[in-house]
Amino acid sequence: MKFYQPTSIREYFELSSSLTDKTAMLLAGGTDLMPRFERGEILPDHLIDLKKLSDLYQVIVRDEFIQIGALTSIQTLAENQLLRNEFTAIQMAAHDFAGAQIRHRGTIGGNIVNASPAGDLLPGLYAFGATLTLIGQASERQVAIQDFILGPGKTALKPHEILVAIRLDRNHFESSFQKVGLRQSMAISVVNLAFVYLKKGEVYQHLKIACGAVAPTVVALDKLTSTIMDKTSKPEDWSQLIEADISPIDDIRATARYRKLVIPNLVKAFLNGKLYE
């Protein structure tokens, strides 16, 4: 296996276009990729380390949005004051993520492109409607996160394309994040949820709930939230509306039955204002 470290995006494209005959893989923090290699996954012919692409570390703040470079570490997200104030669910997910070593090494771009149904940043990114900027050899495109992640480990990334940035619109919504794991930290989520909302008195003017590890990709509980917003559902309908959107499976961390119980319980606790009681 040959190892490369391009120092500019132009250099990256020159390199990647010259490697079309063999398998090439991209490396960011390596916290997903390296364990996969250790478990016996076949090594690529070429490994391209993105870490010297300085543009991918930029965090740009404008009045209307924040744009986060794909190589931004999970630890940087956990410490970011604007995320804490305006995108609390994402900051909380970063704070609850793994241990310090993985948080310093792992990146937001890696969490997205790895496309694990249990990725902790994903529910918040879905619920806030994140848009991804992907650049290819001759073009740049913007893709909504739910159109980018296609299934476990599957994305819409085209050959040679890289994820450069994640954009979040600053709508001043409130939000929170909940993770259920087999232990408090250093555990992959059994389920995870992000709640993003704007509430005036008892009325939701905006409500998005996204859950991870309950389907092949993160799901937004739109059947539930749309009927709460237009006041066509009652609390006794909520469990059924939630179940209509999720399709969990048994795995080594939990059974489908457990996940089907815990998601409605957490969602109802949130809607009843009792999530942390």
Binding site for ligand FAD (CB under 6 A): 25-33, 35, 50, 70, 74, 97-98, 102, 105-107, 109-111, 113-114, 119-120, 157, 162-163, 186, 188
Closest to ligand FAD by CB, 70 vs 228, is 70
Least distance CB 119 / ligand FAD (angstroms): 4
Q: Which two tokens stand for residue 169?
A: 């619109």
Q: How far is the CB of 115 from ligand FAD (least distance, A)?
A: 8
Q: How far is the CB of 111 from ligand FAD (least distance, A)?
A: 3
Report the residue number, 163 or 219, with the smaller CB distance to ligand FAD: 163
* Cβ at position 70, least distance to ligand FAD in Å: 4
Q: Which residue is nearest to ligand FAD (CB)?
A: 110
CB of 107 to ligand FAD, least distance (A): 3
The residue among 117 and 224 lying less far from ligand FAD, judged by its C-beta, is 117
Of the two residues 135 and 242, which places its CB atom closer to ligand FAD in the complex?
135
Strand arrangement, sheet containing 219-220: 174-180, 191-200, 203-212, 219-220
Nearer to ligand FAD, 173 or 177 (CB): 177
